[in-house]
Structures are given as structure tokens and as C-alpha cells.
Structure 1
């Protein structure tokens, strides 16, 4: 495998820090949920609803970060270091502007957004407080994601992992003070948790900028890159907009499905939040393998190592499917005790456990999408996953979630069956696309 700045890139070397980083990001969200569960179950549901919107915003930021990672990886693979650095500069500027725009939109439009989601009245105030604070400063997350994409593309995945560790420590300490109020500190609940998360992100961003300056060899061409940004911006948009389209479609479909679940009541919403928090730890390995594989395949495509890229995707897929299946079984064996960490509500424990059992079926299908779609993007084939994704997410996931969950009365169990059907259909179609090898002619460095 090609070396970058004297550093040999391997799947293991790239993946284990990404795995820990993603796990810690999930822990940050779970820390909010777990600590808030000691405060109020309704607060958990309120934060879960707000996070549906915030996840959508993060996806919007991700379209620049995704394009950044792929372009820099391909340029480094083709030994075009100057262009790689120019992409880094353009990406930071683009996501800063985009982040500020979305931050303003969330701050001023949070009420109509939440009303459109059918948020129960008893949850509205807390959901609104959380969304306003996190949303107004979401541009910081946009910058963190972009810096992380640049540094990871150069192979320094451990640096971003350490930043995430620091952010988690700050966040948990902050949560402790605002939720439990030690030493006479005021108990701020959901509002305090939002402030704690925002402060930890600010600190993380400052450190990330230092890492970027230290790790990327040579100075970034700030002035020259901004003089003629259109070539790189065009390529970022060519990759990012279709990639964002797929993610936006997924998150929009999830919001519609959450609307269905909201009609089932606050208990159903809370169960969904707890079950999905547990599920995140089941599929995070597949996410890490997908991201590590994307970096490797980007370098391989840039260096015209097409056969190696083809085999790398298939090997990574086998690893991800095996780990996802094994993890789902382990979590299913301990479903009630794990959910019991969050709540003692017996109805939530019973339904939530069934949802965890269903992940044995769901998660191997998700592994297909996480690995193969990342590989297709890295090779430049970004449109096909969007077309198939939109058709399946809405034609299968949303339709079946309503049909089985609402119309047939299966509730959350019907919704989870719909999720599994969507993941497997898309996954099989993505693998078929990869095997056809049409992506060989789609490199951005040709």
C-alpha cells in the first residue's frame, strides 16, 4: 500500500482509531441520554426529537466533508500534493459559510420545524431549548468535520480520535454539573446539556486546527487556493451533493417515520431513542470499516490500482458483515440489562428488547451499505447510491413502516422490520453495482 508522508496506510491502522472516535461520538450522545434519564424520561424524548433535526444538519455538513476526504485521498494517491492542500482550504471555507447559514436557520426557525414534527406539547419546550442552543452553534461541528476529513485523509486517524476523547471528557464533566448540580451548581437540565455539548465542541475545534497545521506537511495555500476555487469546488459539489442527497433522503425518511412513532405516544418515542442508542454500538464497527476503506480505495484509485481497490472493498465487506452479526447477537443476549441502564419502565424494556433482537436481521444488511457505498463514493460513483437510496428509503422503509407499524398495528416492531427490508434491498443492489466495475472510469484524477 502507498505511503503518505512516510506513513504506510493499512485498513487496521486507519480503522481502529476511527472505530474509537465514532464510539466516543456515540458515547457523547449516549452520555446525554444516560445522564438525562436520571433526570427525566420526557427530557430524553425531547432531546431525541431535536437530534432528528440536528442529524439532518450534520448530514448537510457531511457533503463537503465527504467530498474533501475522497478528493484529497485521490490526489495524494496520484502524488498531487498541491491540489490536495487546495481542496483542504476550499473545503474549510465552503463548510464555514454553509455552517453559518444553517446555524441561523435553526436559531430562527426552530419552532415551526418542531411543530411540523408533531412534537407532543409536554416535550415542546425542552426540545426547543436544546435545538436553539445546539443549532445556533452547529457551524462549529461543520468545521470539526471538515478538519477531521482532511487529517484522516493524510492517514492521521489517531489524532482525531484523541480530540474526540477530550471532547467527551469535557462533555461528561459539564453534564454532571448541569444535571446533578454538585457544590451548589444550578441544575439546568436539557438546556445545560446543550451548553455542555456546545462548549466541548468549541474546545475540540481549537485543538483540531492545531493538529491540522502540525500534521499536513508544508503550509496550506490559503491565498492561491481562494483565488481560483471553482475547479475544486465543482468537484466537491459533484461528489458531495449526490452523497448528501442520499443521506438527506435517509434522514428525511427517518423524520417521517418518527412522525408516525410520535402518534404512538411519548413511551414509543422514548423506546425508539433508547433502542437506537444501543444499536449504534452494534453498527459502529461497520461504519469505521466503511470510512477506513473509503480512504484506502481513494488512494488506490488515485494511483490507478483498480484490482486492489476491487478486492479491498470485498474483503472489508466480509469483515463488516461478520462483526455486525456477532455484535447483534451479543447485544441481543443482554438486551434487557443494557436497556435497564437507561430506564426501569417495564413496557420500554420489553419492546426495546424485541427491537434489539431484530438487529440480528437488520445490521448485516446495513453493513453492505456502509462499506460498499463508501467504496463506490471513493471511486467516484456517487449518483447510483442516491437513486437507489431514495427509491428504497421511501418506497420500502417509509411505506412499510406505516403499513406494518401503524396500519397493521405492529408498532415499533413493524417499523424495525421496515428498516431491515430497506437496508438489505439497498445493500444487495450496491454490491451488484460494485461487481460491475463501472466505477473504474470515474476517477477525479484521470
Structure 2
């Protein structure tokens, strides 16, 4: 019987360094991925309001696609990390190949759908004719070639599963620089080139993704990459067992994100009914809150990788210890961010608005957010740790219950019926985070995920 007290022993320096060496590059990569969107919005904003709306409506559908791309990445990382831990490099490499095949197929299918039904999709999402003029060129140039984004995300996940988080970070730096330079040139023009407007923004984004994909392929095809290797010249064949394993792990992760996305749409509509100021304050608070997620997402990558590798090596005790250490280290960082939110709520709110009513609501919400950071951390890091073990069904079920049972219902009762406004909305969100964080931690501590076969 395993000694569970290992979780509460003093942290050894080597384990902390290992966790942080994986987590910090992943955090930086997440920041850089956000900056790609920020750069596009900044440059497109120079064209006009309709152009920004065109980018926004395109991103609505892209976010749905990304749910499936991320889920495929979860399955890939779990299988790769498990085989790396077991020392079975051949199986790890085969898993990368099968993920590549699946990513290529999914990306091509989505691309064809976007090509044929682009106008219908945008109209369904509520794009008006004035917005459609800008949305269609951007949608064509970003959504149709989405296969490159899918392949890039899967290959990055494979590298992270092998324990390499630095390469995806370094490639994200190259992509950011490429995107910024091409945004300026292709949108506004240079020398005798007049620029392509919003079409240029889409082309710049896609070119940066193609470059990212090519650099990832170069890394994985390199003989210097000793952990995983995928040679395009090798014999390729479909392995139904691995594809099935990827799907069994990835699909629950996809449904988890979809439950969350659709839940957010529902209670977002409820917030609109509370008032324009409340909705503005909600979006501002949510934007600021995103910064607290960065440590959780970074340490989540470390937790998923290490849990998978240690389970593969049949070191179940170390898998649990490193997952728990990842949580505690992340919680420390997130509580510091929470303290900043609490103490500097007013100046943070004033950065985004001059409306006193909006500012007052943002301040109240930020202070609520600050108090639930340990539970937010659990929903991020412990979910990733369980996914690294291949246990994706439990997080999916907890998200379904949390988002729809506590968050959506709670927003309706507290925000609308009891007329508590935006404070009631965020109290409902906090109840969801607290309960879901506790449930996930109980699941992780009881260790049932240790015997998950993939």
C-alpha cells in the first residue's frame, strides 16, 4: 500500500525545480498566445469598429474549433507522457504519428466546412452586412486554413508530454514577432504596396501559424530530439487502438470545454439583462481575472506531464506528490495575484473605465475573485493532473454539474431573481469554483486515477 504521507513531506528542491522548469515556459507561452490576439485587435482597430467586430465574430467560431484541437492535444500529451515515463519511445513516437493523422483529418474537415458555409456560419452568429464585409475576408484567411493551427497545437502538446515546454515557448516568440511585423506590412502596406486591410491581418495570423507548424516539425524530425521523433519519410499506418485511446481521453476534455462555453453564453445573456454597466463591468473583471489564470495554466502543464510520466514509470506515489506540489506552488503564485487584485482593485478598474458605476462594480468583483484563488487553482491544476493520468471523464462531469447546476442556476437566482446584480453573479461563479475545486481535489487525493489504463 502506498504511503500517502509522501504528499505532506517537505518539498525537495529537485522536484520544485523540475516543476518550475516545466511551468514557467508554459506560462510564458500562454502569455505570448494572448499577445497574438492582442496584436491583431490593435492593428485591426485602426481600420474601424466593423473590422474589430469582424475579427470578434470569426473568433467566436474559432474558439469552438480550438476546443476540439485542445482536446486532441490532451489525449496526445497523456499518451506520450505515459509512454515516455515507461521508457517506450517507439510507442510515444507512434502516438505522435497517430495524433498527427487525426489532427490533419480534423483540420481539413473544418477547413472544408468553413470554405463552403462561411457566409452562412457568420450570418448564424449574428453578423450584420456591414460587419460581414470585413468578417468574410478574415474568416477565409484564418478559419479555412485552420489545419495548421490544429497540427501546431497537437505537436506542441506532444512536446510538452515529453517534458519539453521550452520549444513551444520559443516558437511562440517567433510567431509573435512574425505576426506583428506582417500585421503592419500586410494591413497598411509598405513602400509601393498599399496593404490588404483586414485580409492582411488574417494572412499574417495564418502565416505565423504555418511558420510555427514548420518549426515544430523541424524540432520533432530532428535527430537531436531524443525523447520523441517523427520522420515524415518513415512508413505510416493507422493504428486504431491508439486512435481510440486518444479519442477516449480527448472527447471528454472537449465536452468539458463545450459545457463551459455554452454555459458562459447562457449566463452572459442573463448579465446583459441586468444592465449595460453590469455587462461592461463583468467583461472588465473577466479580462483582469485572466492574468490570475496564467500560473494555474503553466503549472497545470507541469502537473499533466509529470503525472503521466510517473504513472508510466509505475511511480504512482511520485505522480501524486508531484501533482500536489504543482498545485501548491501554483496556489502560492495565484494567491499573490489575488492579493494584488484585492489591494489594487480600484486603480486596476480605473485603467479600463471612467464610469464610476462600472468602476465600483469591478472593484467588488475583483475582491470576490481574490478570495477564491486557491479554488480556481484547483480547477486548473488538478484538472490538468487528472487529464495527464487519462482521467478526463471526472473533470467533464464536475464541469457539467458546476457550470449548469451552480453557475447558470446561481446567476439566475442571485443575479436576476434576488436582484443582487453583478455581485450576485460572481457569488454564484465563486460557489461553482469552490465546490468544483474541492470535488476535484478529493478525486485527486483518493488516487483512483492512478490505475487508469490508457
TM-score range, shorter chain: 0.7 to 0.9
1:295-444 equivalent positions in 2, closer than 5 A: 295-335=305-345, 351-408=361-418, 412-444=422-454
How has the CA–CA distance of structure 1 residues 337 and 202 changed in structure 2, closer, same or farther, with 3 Å as cutoff? Answer: farther
Q: Secondary structure at the match of 1:82?
A: helix
1:146 shift after superposition: 0.9
| Aligned length, in residue pairs | 437
Whole-angstrom CA distance in 1 between matches of 2:122 and 2:278: 18
SS of the residue corresponding to residue 314 of structure 2 reads coil
- Determine if contact 1:47/1:127 at 8 Å carries over to the other structure: yes
Per the alignment, in what secondary structure is the counterpart of residue 87 of structure 2? coil
CA distance in 2, matches of 1:49, 1:88: 33
State the Cα deviation string for residues 242-276 of structure 1 (Å, max 9, x = none).
12121221122223334445667887666555543
From 243, 252, 255, the equivalent of 2:265 is 255
Corresponding residue number in structure 1 for 2:237: 227
CA contact (8 A) 1:130 1:194 kept: yes
- Out of 81, 91, 95, the residue aligned to residue 87 of structure 1 is 95
Alignment of 1:18-417 (within 5 A): 18-36=26-44, 44=52, 47-114=55-122, 116-117=124-125, 126=134, 130-177=138-185, 190-214=198-222, 215-217=224-226, 220=230, 226-261=236-271, 273-335=283-345, 351-408=361-418, 412-417=422-427
Corresponding residue SS for 1:198: helix
Q: CA deviation at 1:378?
A: 1.8
In 1, Cα distance between equivalents of 2:277 and 2:194: 29
Query: Cα deviation per residue 1:41-98 (whole Å; 9 max; x = unaligned)?
Result: 6755664454333222111011211111111111111111110000000000101111
Instruction: Decide whether the 8 Å contact of 1:95 with 1:143 is kept in 2.
Output: yes
Using the TM superposition, give the Cα deviation of residue 168 of structure 1 relative to its aligned residue in structure 2, in angstroms.
1.0
Say which one has the larger Rg.
2
Shift of 1:396: 1.7
TM-score, with normalisation over the residues of structure 1?
0.85
CA distance in 2, matches of 1:423, 1:270: 22
Q: Hey, what does 1:5 align to over in structure 2?
A: none
Residues 133 and 194, structure 1, Cα contact 8 Å, conserved in 2: yes
Q: Alpha-carbon deviation of 1:439?
A: 1.4
Displacement of 1:286 after TM fit? 0.6
Unaligned stretches of 5+ in structure 2? 1-15
Q: 1:200 to 1:414 in 2, by over 3 A?
A: farther
Q: Please say which of residues 162-171 and 86-95 is displaced more in the overlay.
A: 162-171
Equivalent residues of 1:246, 1:385 under 8 A apart: yes
Cα distance in 2 for partners of 1:267, 1:126 equals: 28
- SS for the counterpart of 1:376 is helix
Contact map agreement 2:160 2:301 (CA 8 A) in 1:
no
Q: Measure, in 1, the Cα distance between the counterparts of 2:394 and 2:211.
A: 38
Contact kept? 1:271, 1:351, Cα under 8 Å: yes
1:45 touches 1:266 (CA, 8 Å); kept in 2? no
Q: Report the CA distance shift for 1:237/1:92 in structure 2 as closer, same or farther (over 3 A).
A: same
Conserved in 2, the CA contact under 8 Å of 1:298 and 1:378? yes
- Structure 1: any 5+ residue segments left out of the alignment? 1-7
> In structure 2, do the counterparts of structure 1 residues 112 and 325 end up closer, same or farther at CA, with 3 Å as the change threshold?
farther
* 1:287–1:335 Cα change, 3 Å: same
Q: For 1:278-309, what per-residue CA distance to the aligned partner results, in whole angstroms no more than 9, with x for missing partners?
A: 32222111100011111011110001111111
User: What TM-score, normalized to structure 2?
Assistant: 0.84
Name the stretch that deviates more: 283-292 or 42-51.
42-51
Provide the rounded CA distance (Å) in 2 between the counterparts of 1:59 and 1:200.
20
CA contact (8 A) 2:187 2:199 kept: no
Per-residue deviation, 1:310: 1.4
